[in-house]
Structure 1
Amino acid sequence: MSTTLQLVDAERWPGVARVPHSPVRAAAARRILHSAVRDLPLVVQLPDGTKLGAGATGAPELRIVSDAFFHRIGTDLKIGFGEAYMAGDWRAAPGTDLAELLTVFARKLAVLVPPALQRFRRLLERPIAERNDRTGARANIARHYDLSNELFGTFLDPTLSYSSAWFSDDRGDRPGALAEAQRRKIEGVLDYAGVRDGSRVLEIGTGWGQLAIQAAQRGATVRSITLSAEQRDLARKRIAEAGVTATVDLCDYRDVQGQYDAIVSVEMIEAVGEQYWPTYFATVDRLLAPGGRFGLQSITMPHDRLLATRHAQGWIHQYIFPGGLIPSLEAIERIAAASGGLAVTDRRDFGADYARTLRLWRDRFTAEAATVANLGFDAVFRRMWEFYLAYSEAGFRSGYLGVLQLSLSRRS
């Protein structure tokens, strides 16, 4: 069995350094791949040069360069496919954009594995490993957001907004467009929360402080909470440099006390975990003053896909967002009503803008590869993040994922 691994730090990347050996599962994976790509508009080149797929000349092309690919996906498809990319067992062919290639798969994600085999999925999948109790939530957030402020600075725009932008036109590559679109996104969610001069505002999930800055610029009294020490420290610095006042605390949302006229949370609910969604909405209800509103931005997935995947540990859990789960709009509406007495009164959907945001981030990240390396992040990490950004972009490009801004208030 050939392999492409070279000098992988086995202690840091055990799942990448260790190639599982399962000839039976590898053979089954090879047969499933043949069947799955037969009618897809792409080309898959096998290690021996054989080509599969229905793609014409110029179609996206995936090149499998090691038989280890089949052992990885045969052992655990949800994790092995990403690990195989990290290891270099497959790559996009020259001239093929990685996100474009992954989008072809994302459009058929629910049916790539034959229905007869999907019945056995629960027997093969690992359960989600990380919990989001108070101790677990802090550890899970630290694993991603405390990597390095400098790392995030290599690909984010000057607002340091790490969530979907909201573009006003299709000229997303012009200078300053991303920062402008990020500020527009923040203004949108602040409007949905009814933030104005004199509002008492709670932000759940600080990021690097841009929302707190813009809320304070409206004349609001702002308290922002985070579980990331790195984010807290830089957010406080950026708030001071902006010449406004806002409090940033290292605090779990469950421990907040007081009353607020407006609560805002941008793409933090995905880190809460399904088990704690009722607690999350009950906490918002407890903290919201009479007549107050909740402005929420959330990535979403179709409800049937949430039900099918919610218990399984995937590559994203393993390497990027431990303990996380993307909700569906149906889940948000149902749990917000049952646990918090909250109803959605306004909504906007701009999933296509997230695909554009991710493309811009990935372009910047790959252009700054040398800088990322100098920060101490090795080649496996860089491939991991390239895959993460492209994989996420494919989700939004295909419509498998969406992003919503919601305005919620107490049901009358």
Structure 2
Amino acid sequence: MTITHTHGVDTTPDPVRWPDVVRVPAGPLARWGAPIADRLFRRAVSRLDVRVEYPDGTVLGAGGSSSPRMTVHRPDAFARRLAGGGLIGFGEAYMAGDWDAPDPAAVLAPFAASAPGLVPRPLQVLRPLVLPGQPAAERNSEENTRSNISRHYDLSNELFALFLDDTMTYSSALFGETPARWDTLAAAQHRKIDRLLDESGVGPGTRLLEIGTGWGELAIRAARRGATVRSVTLSVEQQELARRRVADAGCADRVRIDLLDYRGVRGEYDAVLSVEMIEAVGYEYWGTYFATIDRLLVPGGRAAVQAITMPDARMRASRGTYTWIHKYIFPGGLLPSTEALEQAVSGTALRTVDRFGFGGDYADTLRLWRERFAAHSDAVTALGFDATFRRMWEFYLAYSEAGFRSGYLDVQQITLTKEGAR
């Protein structure tokens, strides 16, 4: 299957690298289910502010000519993928070029806003029978977690540098009242980090543990406040670059970066920070995650966790489902709900003292990343990533942006304190 040709370059998916993108489902479920999936999709879009165009001239959607436009190029393949894989099939259809959109995030936002009702309730009970469950090999046990993390974060430091700002911060910025532009992104990332440091009381002499290093910017800013920082990561690529950035910043004597699972950390800390790492922990281990923070934090100490959250009902309905994000982007993860986080904390001596949401800022952050990624497509190719990877990454960023722009997803900074006096 050939998607398209861009500047004379063949963009046919590699059948070894992308077998499920090349192969259109042809089993009984796909064949018999395709007409049903097609009807359900058409029924869903008829109520959404989108414009869906088909090769035969059919136009669907509740919106008008100015609504976000989606073009279905291969209706039969698109329907078979939906029938055979649900949302996995929807994402693979984009990767294969079965459908396209000038602005995928704008198209996906109405779908995200209406997610609970897209599939009729009587059919939702069939989800476990039709859709695959998460593979046991991707459960975030101590044996599996390093592999799961490596599949995303060890892709290439150079790849991430192409679309992140100079701080190399891969989490939501906090723009506040500042216009969300590329030239304000680094300052907005610092604003986000500084709020976390303030909330956890990081200053001179603070013994700080960071769970999830990223590329070191938080550790550097904490060290410049006079803190002694230990940061742990499971990404070899991140550890290497973060150490170099810390050294270049003149903070190597105050920052230690270890390749270590958070469950293996020992010692006592005055503050614990963790930014958008809990999403990769896995449902079964949220209690372990907060119990670890509780164990490591001194009485009276404070922790600040930045977490992406989703509605509780949707989290519970989908927590056992294998999704496109699991398969191609973040194996083994799950976005928690606010209620699930509170339940996981309840078995510890930690108490929530502040919760701050800024999901709209994440939509803007992702938009800037997506624009930057698209602007550097030639550089992505030069790093060895093919056209299918570029479409996959574009879909990932657009899919994520749509979740926040619709309000389906939120991002929160949660401040915790451990009971007892210092």
The bucket for the TM-score relative to the shorter chain is: over 0.9
Q: Find the counterpart in structure 1 of residue 106 from structure 2.
A: 100
Note if 1:114 corresponds to 2:120.
Answer: yes
Note if 1:345 corresponds to 2:350.
Answer: no
Q: Distance in 2 between matches of 1:272 and 1:167?
A: 27
| Partner SS, residue 351 of structure 2 | strand
Note if 1:242 corresponds to 2:249.
Answer: yes
Deviation at 1:49, TM superposition (A): 2.2
Given that residues 44 and 51 in structure 1 are in contact (C-alpha distance below 8 angstroms), is that contact kept between their aligned partners in structure 2? yes
Deviation at 1:404, TM superposition (A): 0.3
Q: Find the counterpart in structure 2 of residue 35 from structure 1.
A: 43
Given that residues 303 and 330 in structure 1 are in contact (C-alpha distance below 8 angstroms), is that contact kept between their aligned partners in structure 2? yes
Note if 1:20 corresponds to 2:20.
Answer: no
Deviation at 1:23, TM superposition (A): 2.2
Give the partner amino acid of 1:301. M
Q: Distance in 1 between matches of 2:340 and 2:125?
A: 24
Q: Find the counterpart in structure 1 of residue 166 from structure 2.
A: 158
Deviation at 1:154, TM superposition (A): 0.2
Note if 1:144 corresponds to 2:152.
Answer: yes
Deviation at 1:4, TM superposition (A): 4.5
Q: Find the counterpart in structure 1 of residue 218 from structure 2.
A: 211
Q: Distance in 2 between matches of 1:51 and 1:4?
A: 22
Q: Find the counterpart in structure 1 of residue 80 from structure 2.
A: 71
Q: Superposed, which structure 2 residues align to 1:290-305 within 5 Å? A: 290-305=299-314
Q: Distance in 2 between matches of 1:3 and 1:27?
A: 24
Q: Find the counterpart in structure 2 of residue 362 from structure 1.
A: 370
Give the partner amino acid of 1:101. V
Q: Find the counterpart in structure 1 of residue 289 from structure 2.
A: 280
Name the TM-score, length of structure 2 as normaliser: 0.94
Name the TM-score, length of structure 1 as normaliser: 0.96
Given that residues 350 and 416 in structure 2 are in contact (C-alpha distance below 8 angstroms), is that contact kept between their aligned partners in structure 1? yes
Q: Find the counterpart in structure 1 of residue 7 from structure 2.
A: none
Q: Find the counterpart in structure 1 of residue 392 from structure 2.
A: 384
1:289 to 283, 292, 298: 298
Q: Distance in 1 between matches of 2:139 and 2:182?
A: 41
| Partner SS, residue 267 of structure 2 | coil
Give the partner amino acid of 1:90. W
Deviation at 1:7, TM superposition (A): 2.5
Change (3 A) 1:87 1:165: same
Q: Find the counterpart in structure 1 of residue 196 from structure 2.
A: 189
Q: Distance in 1 between matches of 2:194 and 2:106?
A: 31
Given that residues 203 and 212 in structure 1 are in contact (C-alpha distance below 8 angstroms), is that contact kept between their aligned partners in structure 2? yes
The runs of 5 or more residues in structure 1 that have no matched partner are none
Deviation at 1:178, TM superposition (A): 0.3
Note if 1:198 corresponds to 2:205.
Answer: yes
Q: Distance in 2 between matches of 1:366 and 1:187?
A: 30
2:142 to 124, 129, 134: 134
Deviation at 1:117, TM superposition (A): 1.1
Q: Distance in 1 between matches of 2:390 and 2:215?
A: 22
Given that residues 171 and 275 in structure 2 are in contact (C-alpha distance below 8 angstroms), is that contact kept between their aligned partners in structure 1? yes
Q: Find the counterpart in structure 2 of residue 60 from structure 1.
A: 68
For these two proteins, the number of residue pairs brought into alignment is 406
Deviation at 1:11, TM superposition (A): 1.2
Deviation at 1:170, TM superposition (A): 4.3
Given that residues 131 and 323 in structure 1 are in contact (C-alpha distance below 8 angstroms), is that contact kept between their aligned partners in structure 2? yes
Q: Distance in 1 between matches of 2:308 and 2:55?
A: 37
Q: Distance in 2 between matches of 1:174 and 1:82?
A: 28
2:329 to 320, 323, 334: 320
- Percent sequence identity over matched residues? 56
Q: Superposed, which structure 2 residues align to 1:247-258 within 5 Å? A: 247-258=256-267
Change (3 A) 1:318 1:390: same
The runs of 5 or more residues in structure 2 that have no matched partner are 5-10
Q: Find the counterpart in structure 2 of residue 44 from structure 1.
A: 52
Deviation at 1:89, TM superposition (A): 0.4
| Partner SS, residue 346 of structure 2 | helix
Give the partner amino acid of 2:166. P
Given that residues 3 and 89 in structure 1 are in contact (C-alpha distance below 8 angstroms), is that contact kept between their aligned partners in structure 2? no
Given that residues 3 and 68 in structure 1 are in contact (C-alpha distance below 8 angstroms), is that contact kept between their aligned partners in structure 2? no
User: Over residues 344-388 of structure 1, what are the superposed CA-to-partner deviations in whole Å (9 max), with x where a residue is unaligned?
Assistant: 101111000000000000000000000000000000000000000
Shift >6 Å, 4+ stretches: none
Please, which moves more after superposition, 145-154 or 58-67? Answer: 58-67
Given that residues 2 and 13 in structure 2 are in contact (C-alpha distance below 8 angstroms), is that contact kept between their aligned partners in structure 1? no
Q: Find the counterpart in structure 1 of residue 89 from structure 2.
A: 80
Q: Find the counterpart in structure 2 of residue 9 from structure 1.
A: 14
User: Over residues 58-90 of structure 1, what are the superposed CA-to-partner deviations in whole Å (9 max), with x where a residue is unaligned?
Assistant: 111111101211100111112000000000000
User: Over residues 11-45 of structure 1, what are the superposed CA-to-partner deviations in whole Å (9 max), with x where a residue is unaligned?
Assistant: 11111011102321111111111211112111111
Please, which moves more after superposition, 18-27 or 290-299? Answer: 18-27
Q: Distance in 2 between matches of 1:174 and 1:91?
A: 26
Q: Find the counterpart in structure 1 of residue 416 from structure 2.
A: 408
Given that residues 207 and 226 in structure 1 are in contact (C-alpha distance below 8 angstroms), is that contact kept between their aligned partners in structure 2? yes
Deviation at 1:114, TM superposition (A): 1.1
User: Over residues 311-353 of structure 1, what are the superposed CA-to-partner deviations in whole Å (9 max), with x where a residue is unaligned?
Assistant: 1000000000000001011111111121x22111011110000
